Amino acid sequence: MNHTKSEELFVKAKAIIPGGVNSPVRAFKSAGCNPIFIAKAAGSKIYDVDGNEYIDYVGSWGPMILGHCHPKVVEAIQKTAASGASFGAPTPLETELAEIVCEAYPNIEKVRMVSSGTEATMSAIRLARGYTGRDKILKFDGCYHGHADSLLVKAGSGLATFGVPTSPGVPADFAKYTLTANYNDLANVQELVAANKGEIACIILEAVAGNMGCVPPVKGFLQELRDLCTAEGIILIIDEVMTGFRVAYGGAQERFGVRGDLVCLGKIIGGGLPVGAFGGKREIMDSLSPEGGVYQAGTLSGNPLAMSAGIATLKLLQQEGFYQQLEEKAAYLEKGVQQVAGNSPIATCWQRVGGMFCTYFQEGPVNNFDAALASDTEAFGRYFRSMLDQGINLAPAQFEAGFISISHSKEDLDKTIAALEKALATV
Ligand code: PMP
């Protein structure tokens, strides 16, 4: 495949943008090649500036559950843009999206819109601290909740890929308020809670961990965490930035039947535009300014374009059978992948929840961050490069999830399975 224009653009970008990218994992660094620069996308396909076509499983890291450029989403954005891009004042669109979100998540009684997942988790944590009057928080190794200081401790995603689980620049005095536990290990959480009794404001987690690949919660883990939080007066924050409207319309909380006190959303609810949201129990949310004293704000919060794209997207997700169809597509891909992988001498382990998945280069199963780190990342790199060369666009790192959209056709999935067979032969 010819990548001449991408290579030229990368040289230019590197001269003025750190690493040539505006978000680290986009650099393809751990995959051992340079990034492709994108010109456009449509449906399940994405096209680079050299004119190469790829079947896309990145989907902008999750938001594009409908595929790219769904006509109804494009139309909604265009229509809204013609009336003004931003006012910094309330619009009816914000309430409309808030109503859709509250209906989908019964434990979200009030919700506030922000502009990214990072802002959603950062604000939810401030709110939990303000509401409880406690300073410490507990997160899980390998979970990523955006790049606010107190959350960049033993985090997944790019930090795992680049081997800096706790970022330089986060003062030790901040990090000391962040306790970290092993994912799927309730005993570890119980120990930490007992050792910090009455001091923990919140426990935050990805109910399916999608930033160390794709790690489902083991049976009982979420409910036991829920019970522990209730007993100890700890706010349970379920970060559904990735899983919300993805693993079910009502997210991981609907799928696993466990509810947080606060919930963070992002990605899909903005239909590809910059959005995040956090919401939950009325009593907690009313601690936010201007009702309460916990401050949180944003010039572009509730931006009309983003609200329109989100509303149009979520309305399409309400169509009868949408999630069943997505599940069927994902299950079809899973069956093909497992058949091919089963016939290969290369050790791989496929894990999936709904429309998100990961192929680990190891035997598995992977239940936590330490297990994820045992993957053969060199082999992953060879697999990634072979897939890309065959026109399959995957997340360029082992510790990221892949995403299936409703626009992936059987032909797309068959091509992907055939490409995997070839890729495994080269790994
Ligand atoms: N939480 C989770 C679970 C995420 O996956 C991400 C981003 N991948 C974030 C928070 C941060 O969202 P953003 O990149 O929009 O700041």
Identify the DSSP state of 27: G
Residue range 172-189: mean pLDDT, rounded: 94
288 and 172 share one domain: yes
Catalytic annotation present for 239: yes
Ligand 1 center from residue 403 Cα (angstroms): 14
Identify the DSSP state of 349: E
408 and 313 share one domain: no
Q: Identify the pLDDT of residue 315.
A: 98
Separation between Cα atoms, residue 141 and residue 19, nearest integer Å: 26
Q: Is the pLDDT at 275 greater than 70, yes or no?
A: yes
Residue range 53-71: mean pLDDT, rounded: 98
Catalytic annotation present for 332: no
166 and 229 share one domain: yes
Total domains in the fold of the chain:
2
Residue range 52-61: mean pLDDT, rounded: 98
State the CATH number of the domain containing residue 60.
Answer: 3.90.1150.10
Q: Which of 54, 105, 131, 144 is catalytic?
A: 144
Domain boundary among 282, 299, 317: 317
27 and 165 share one domain: no
Catalytic annotation present for 144: yes
Residue range 253-258: mean pLDDT, rounded: 98
Q: What angle, 0 to 180 degrees and rounded to 10, lies between the N-to-C axes of helices 322-342 and 304-317?
A: 80
Predicted confidence band of residue 159 (pLDDT cuts 50, 70, 90): confident
Q: How many CB atoms lie within 10 A of CB 14?
A: 14
35 and 91 share one domain: no
Domain boundary among 317, 336, 351: 317
Q: Determine what percent of the chain is predicted with pLDDT higher than 70.
A: 99
Q: Which of 239, 281, 383, 412 is catalytic?
A: 239
Which two structure tokens, joined as six digits, stand for 213?
């690949």
Q: Domain range holding 330? A: 4-69+320-426
133 and 198 share one domain: yes
340 and 282 share one domain: no
Which two structure tokens, joined as six digits, stand for 79?
């229509």
| Helix-strand-coil split of the chain, %, nearest 5 | 45, 15, 40
Peptide bond into 290 cis (omega under 30): yes
Q: Is the pLDDT at 165 greater than 70, yes or no?
A: no
Residue 284: name the closest of 402, 96, 136, 124 by CA.
Answer: 124
pLDDT digits (tens, 9 = 90+) for 373-406: 999 999 999 999 999 999 999 999 999 999 999 9
Q: What totals of helices (H) and strands (E) does the chain contain, helices first?
A: 15, 14
The answer to ipTM > 0.95 is yes
Give the chain's mean pLDDT. 96
Domain boundary among 270, 291, 317: 317
Q: Identify the pLDDT of residue 414.
A: 98
State the CATH number of the domain containing residue 280.
Answer: 3.40.640.10
pTM summary value: 0.97
